[in-house]
Amino acid sequence: MKKTIRLGSVFSGIGAPEQALNKLGCDTQIVFACDNGEIEIKTPVDEINKIIKKLSLKEANKKIKEIYASTKKINYMKISYTANYKVKEDDWFEDIRFLDGKPYKGKIDMLIGGSPCQSFSIIGKRAGLEDTRGTLFFEYARLVKQCQPKVFIYENVPGILTHDKGNTWKVIKSVFNSLGYKLYSEILNAKDYGIPQDRKRLFVIGFKDHNVNFSFPKKIELKTEMKDYLEKNVDVKHYLGKKGFEFVTNPKYRNRARINPKIIQTQKANQQFNWNGDFVFEPLSKVKNNKEIMSRSYVSTWNGQKGVIRQLSYRECLRLMGFSDSFKIVVPNVPAYRQAGNSIVVDVLENIFKEIFKVVKF
Ligand SMILES: C[S@@+](CC[C@H](N)C(=O)[O-])C[C@H]1O[C@@H](n2cnc3c(N)ncnc32)[C@H](O)[C@@H]1O
C-alpha cells in the first residue's frame, strides 16, 4: 500500500528527502518547507520577533518574506525547490528562526533537516536547549519539540562529533535526549549505499515511540563508478582551457582535483570552481570531430594519452547525489553546483527510510 508521509522539511535545499520518498513511491505531503537561500538579513532577530509576536502564522510568514525581499537577493533554493515539489506559498517559510512549530503539533509524520555546518562555538557547556540558543541547531530542536513528529532525521558533517574536543556533540546529544525521543546515530558513507561518492555524514534519528527497535541500513556492495553517471554530451563551457588543464593535472593539487576517479570525493558547495572537485578526461578520438569543443578546450597529454578535460556538469553532480533526471534544473550554474554539493545523498536516505518503514507505521 502506498505510504502517505506528512513531511516537515527544514534547511530544505533541493529536497533530498523529498526525492527519496518519491523514488520509494510514497505520497509525500509537504506540510512545510523552509530555506533562506543563504541570504543574510540585517534586521536583528529580536526586532523581528517583536514585530511578528502578535501576528498569525500566515501574517508572520508574509512579514518575513517582505523582510527577505527587501534584500533584493534571489532565493535560488526556493526557486529550485518549488519547481520540483508541490508546496503551497503559505507553507513555504524563508527562515527557520521565525517558523513557529506549535500550530503543527501532531500534524507531521517526519521532520527532516540538516542545519548548515556553521560554527557551533556559541554552544555552551551546560548542555541544555537554552544553551544552544542562537544556533540553527537550536531552531531544529525547538521545532521537534513543538511539532512532535513520529520520527525526526537530523543530518550533519561528522566533524560535529569532534568539534571543541567533543563538547559540542555532548551538548547536542543532551539536547536531543531532552526531547523525549528514542535516539539512534551513525555515520554513513554514500559509497556504501550504491553511489560512488566518498561522502560521510552523521545521521541522528529520533523516534517518538520508545518501543521501536531500529537498525541503520546494512552496507551494499558498490556496483557503479563515476563513469556510469556521465552524460553523453555536455555543454562546451565545461571544458578546461590551458590553465585549468595544467592545474588539474599537476600532482601538487591531487587532493583538490582528481581526474577519472572511480569514486568521487565529497561534493562541496564550491565544487567545480577554481578547479576543485572531480574531472573527466576525454581522449582526442572522442572529441576531435567536435569543432566547438576543439576550439574552446586545451588539448594535452594526461596519463600518456592526448585529450581534453572537463568539469562534471550540474546534471552529473546531481546524478552523483542520487537525484533522478526528472529533477528540473532551473537556476544558474553557481547556485546549481552549490545546491548539489550541499544536499544529502538520496540513496542513503532511501535506505534509511526503508528501515524506518519496517518499524513505524505511516
Ligand atoms: C547543508 S544545506 C541542506 C540541504 C538539504 N538537506 C538538501 O537536501 O538539499 C543547509 C541549508 O540551510 C539553509 N539555511 C541557512 N540558514 C537558514 C535559516 N536561517 N533558515 C532556513 N534555512 C537556512 C541554507 O540555505 C542551505 O540550503
Cβ atoms of 126 and 24 within 8 Å: the answer is: no
Q: Are residues 296 and 197 in the same domain?
A: no
Q: What is the mean pLDDT of residues 309-313?
A: 96
The amino acid at residue 180 is G
Catalytic annotation, residues: 117
* Cell 550533519 found at: 156
Residue 122 maps to a domain: yes
pLDDT value, residue 133: 62
Q: Are residues 64 and 173 in the same domain?
A: yes
Q: Are residues 209 and 277 in the same domain?
A: no
DSSP bridge pairs for 64: none
pLDDT value, residue 118: 60
Q: How confident is the model at residue 132 (pLDDT cuts 50, 70, 90)?
A: low
Q: Which residue has the higher pLDDT, 137 or 60?
A: 60
Q: Are residues 38 and 143 in the same domain?
A: yes
Cβ atoms of 229 and 260 within 8 Å: the answer is: no
Residues whose CB falls within 8 Å of the CB of residue 32, separated by 6 or more in sequence, listed in order: 8, 9, 87, 91, 92, 93, 99, 104
Residues whose CB falls within 8 Å of the CB of residue 230, separated by 6 or more in sequence, listed in order: 280, 312, 316
Output DSSP code: residue 264: B
Q: Are residues 180 and 50 in the same domain?
A: yes
Indicate the helix (H) or strand (E) that contains 357: helix 346-359
14 Cα nearest atom in ligand 1? 9
Q: How confident is the model at residue 166 (pLDDT cuts 50, 70, 90)?
A: confident
Q: How confident is the model at residue 165 (pLDDT cuts 50, 70, 90)?
A: confident
115 Cα nearest atom in ligand 1? 10
The amino acid at residue 89 is E
Q: Which residue has the higher pLDDT, 72 or 127?
A: 72
39 Cα nearest atom in ligand 1? 25
For residue 155, pLDDT over 90 is answered with yes
Output DSSP code: residue 273: S
12 Cα nearest atom in ligand 1? 5
> What range does the domain containing 205 cover?
4-219+344-359
Q: What's the CA gap between 51 and 45, in Å, rounded?
A: 10
pLDDT tens sequence across 101-114: 999 999 999 999 99
Residue 260 maps to a domain: yes
Q: Are residues 270 and 353 in the same domain?
A: no
Structural domain count, the chain? 2
Which of 48, 135, 321, 342 to mutate for ligand 1's pocket (most ligand atoms within 8 Å of CB)? 342
Residue 210 maps to a domain: yes
pLDDT tens sequence across 202-213: 999 999 999 999
Residue 280 maps to a domain: yes
Q: Are residues 166 and 292 in the same domain?
A: no
Q: What is the mean pLDDT of residues 273-289?
A: 92
How many angstroms does the Cα of residue 72 sit away from the middle of ligand 1? 19
Which of 36, 45, 73 to mutate for ligand 1's pocket (most ligand atoms within 8 Å of CB)? 36
CATH number at residue 110: 3.40.50.150
Residue 323 maps to a domain: no
How many angstroms does the Cα of residue 115 sit away from the middle of ligand 1? 6
How many angstroms does the Cα of residue 236 sit away from the middle of ligand 1? 31
Q: How confident is the model at residue 42 (pLDDT cuts 50, 70, 90)?
A: very high
Q: What's the CA gap between 54 and 176, in Å, rounded?
A: 29
Q: What is the mean pLDDT of residues 314-333?
A: 97
Cα dihedral across residues 325, 331, 334, 338: positive or negative: negative
Q: Are residues 355 and 209 in the same domain?
A: yes
What are the helix (H) ranges across the chain?
Answer: 16-23, 45-52, 57-69, 76-84, 136-147, 167-178, 242-248, 284-287, 291-296, 314-319, 333-342, 346-359
Residue 339 maps to a domain: no
Q: Which residue has the CA at smallest separation from atom 10 of ligand 1?
A: 116
Q: Which residue has the CA at smallest separation from atom 6 of ligand 1?
A: 343
Cβ atoms of 214 and 205 within 8 Å: the answer is: yes
Q: Are residues 115 and 153 in the same domain?
A: yes
Q: Are residues 247 and 156 in the same domain?
A: no
How many angstroms does the Cα of residue 77 sit away from the middle of ligand 1? 8
Q: Are residues 212 and 296 in the same domain?
A: no
Q: Are residues 196 and 101 in the same domain?
A: yes
Q: Which residue has the CA at smallest separation from atom 18 of ligand 1?
A: 95
Residue 224 maps to a domain: no
155 Cα nearest atom in ligand 1? 6
pLDDT value, residue 134: 62
How many angstroms does the Cα of residue 99 sit away from the middle of ligand 1? 14
Cβ atoms of 190 and 258 within 8 Å: the answer is: no
Residue 119 maps to a domain: yes
How many angstroms does the Cα of residue 352 sit away from the middle of ligand 1? 21
> Which residues surround ligand 1 with Cβ inside 6 Å?
11, 13-16, 34-38, 77, 95-97, 114, 116, 136, 342-344
Whole-model pTM over 0.85: yes
Q: What's the CA gap between 123 and 165, in Å, rounded?
A: 13
